[in-house]
Structures are given as C-alpha cells and as structure tokens.
Amino acid sequence: MTLQVATANLNGIRAATRRGIGGWLDRVRPDILAVQEVRAPHDVLTEALPGWTLAHSASEIPGRAGVAVATTAPVHATRIGLGLAAAHQSGRWIEADVEVPAWAEPLTVVSAYVPVGELDSPKQAAKYEFLDAMTERMGELAAGGGNVIVCGDINVAHREPDLRNWRGNIDKRGFLLAERAYIDTWLDRQGWVDVGRKLAGDVDGPYTWWSWRGKAFDNDAGWRIDCQFASPGVATLALTSRVDRAPTYAERWSDHAPMVTVYA
C-alpha cells in the first residue's frame, strides 16, 4: 500500500479549473492534496473538488491567499492559523489530522502559504512575522513526535540548486540569507526532512514555479519553492517524489507545478 501526497499552488481555483486541473486530478488521483492560493470561498472550492473531504481556510480578503487540505480519507480534526491577528496573514495555514489506513496514528497534513514579501516594504516585515510564527509552530509539531507533513508554497528558495538564476537573486526577496535561515532551522535544529531534496539529490531543481512572463517556462528558468517537509518517521517512508511539470506552456493550469510524493 502507498500514500500519494501532492502539494500545489493553484493560482486561483477558478482559473485552475478552466485551465484543466480536473484532468490532472483524474490522472494522478492523489490520496491527499494540499493546495494554496485558492482565492475563493468554500462553496466554490467544494464545487471544483467534488467528492473530496475538505479542510479550508479562506482569506479574509476576497480573491487572495486561501489554503486547503483535500483528502479521500476521514479528517479527525483541523486547526487554522498561527495566531496572527493581521488580516493579510489569514488563509495561509491549516492543519488537518487525516486517517491513513494501516497507520496506527493519524497523519497531520499542513498546507502553508508563506507571504511573498517585498524589500524595503512592510510586506517583508509581514513575511518575517509569518516565518517566525511558522517556525514556532513547526517546533511544536516536531516536539510532539507525531506523523506530520508540512506542505506548501514557501516562497523561499533554500539553496543555490533551488533556482536557476541564483547569482542574479542573491539580494532579492525569496533568496535572502535571512529568509533561507528559517529553512536551516527547520532542517538542522527541528529535524524536519525536505523530502523533495532528499530524493532528488544534489541536482538543479526540480523547479516548481516559473513566471508567466517571457520564456522562463520554456527555458526551465524556475524556482523550487513548493515543498514537503516531513517528520523523521514519515520521511523514512518516502519512496519517490516528482514535479508534474506541464508538457507545454499552453497546458499549464498554474504558474506552479504540483509536487507529488509517494509514501509507503
């Protein structure tokens, strides 16, 4: 038996539906799907993903953010948010305790959407505020010793192999040393495992995001910012991981590609 877990930034569920996410779901059939940038109320998400058990946190700002966990299994409990009061932080963190057949304990699946940030702007301070709260919560989850996978759009490339043009982005948001240090903490101090990197090895990419503009997608000039961070016990069960990059620019249903990991 295997468990297939996917994470994907939708860039809007309405747009992703128009562009063909339904066909991808029919082909892949993930057991658990963590999504970000839903950008829609719950009834729209339910209509777009019929038959799924949904845990959804919509943003307080219409048309922005929004995260969800969709499963084919029962969900025992959900927890929303990181205790941040600012409205622009809503719709960015949700936890769902999912029943997994043959597992003694449930699997906690997190869908996270880290703010993009903007240098010399309050938006960058908001990003650090979110990353502080996220790091604190991940520390609590790690200390709890349960089965956990933190999925999401991190909006930070951790190392040079995680983006094609790393030299040109040294001093830019998404690749700042201060941002990357958070991921160091998750991996080196808290014990999380970056499953995609572990299984891919020390290679360039595989990238998960490419700008809609120019030839970024055609030239594979992307960033690896969509990740699954697993607790140590769950990480040992990871068998394969891949990025489902669309065959052509025209067949993309988001500016991100889903990351799919198969666990034993």
- Residue 213, pLDDT > 90, answer yes
| Burial (CB count <10 Å: 0-12, 13-18, 19+), residue 242 | middle
In three-state secondary structure terms, 218 is coil
- Residue 115, pLDDT > 90, answer yes
Under a CB-based contact definition with an 8 Å cutoff, are residues 67 and 47 in contact?
Answer: no
Q: Centre a 10 Å sphere on the Cβ of residue 154 and count the other Cβ atoms it contains.
A: 28
Tell me the average pLDDT of the chain: 96
Catalytic residue among 153, 162, 226, 255, which? 153
Q: Looking at residues 169-184, what average pLDDT do you find?
A: 97
Under a CB-based contact definition with an 8 Å cutoff, are residues 233 and 226 in contact?
Answer: no
Indicate if 153 belongs to the active site: yes
Count how many Cα atoms sit within 13 Å of the Cα of residue 170 in the half-sphere of its side chain: 2
Token digits for 139?
């520390």
Q: What percent of the chain is predicted at pLDDT more than 70?
A: 99
Q: Which amino acid is at 182?
A: Y
Residue with tokens 């604190």: 136
Q: Give the pLDDT band of residue 88 (cuts 50, 70, 90).
A: low
Query: Tell me, what's the pLDDT at 87?
Result: 58
Q: What percent of the chain is predicted at pLDDT more than 90?
A: 93
Instruction: Tell me if the bond preceding 206 is cis, omega within 30° of 0.
Output: yes
pLDDT in tens, 91-106: 999 999 999 988 889 9
Q: Looking at residues 62-80, what average pLDDT do you find?
A: 95
Under a CB-based contact definition with an 8 Å cutoff, are residues 72 and 53 in contact?
Answer: yes
pLDDT in tens, 3-49: 999 999 999 999 999 999 999 999 999 999 999 999 999 999 999 99
Q: Looking at residues 204-220, what average pLDDT do you find?
A: 97
Closest among 83, 103, 115 to 231, alpha carbons compared = 103
- Residue 160, pLDDT > 90, answer yes
The CATH class given to the 3-263 domain equals alpha beta
CA Rg, the chain, in Å? 17
Q: Give the pLDDT band of residue 90 (cuts 50, 70, 90).
A: confident
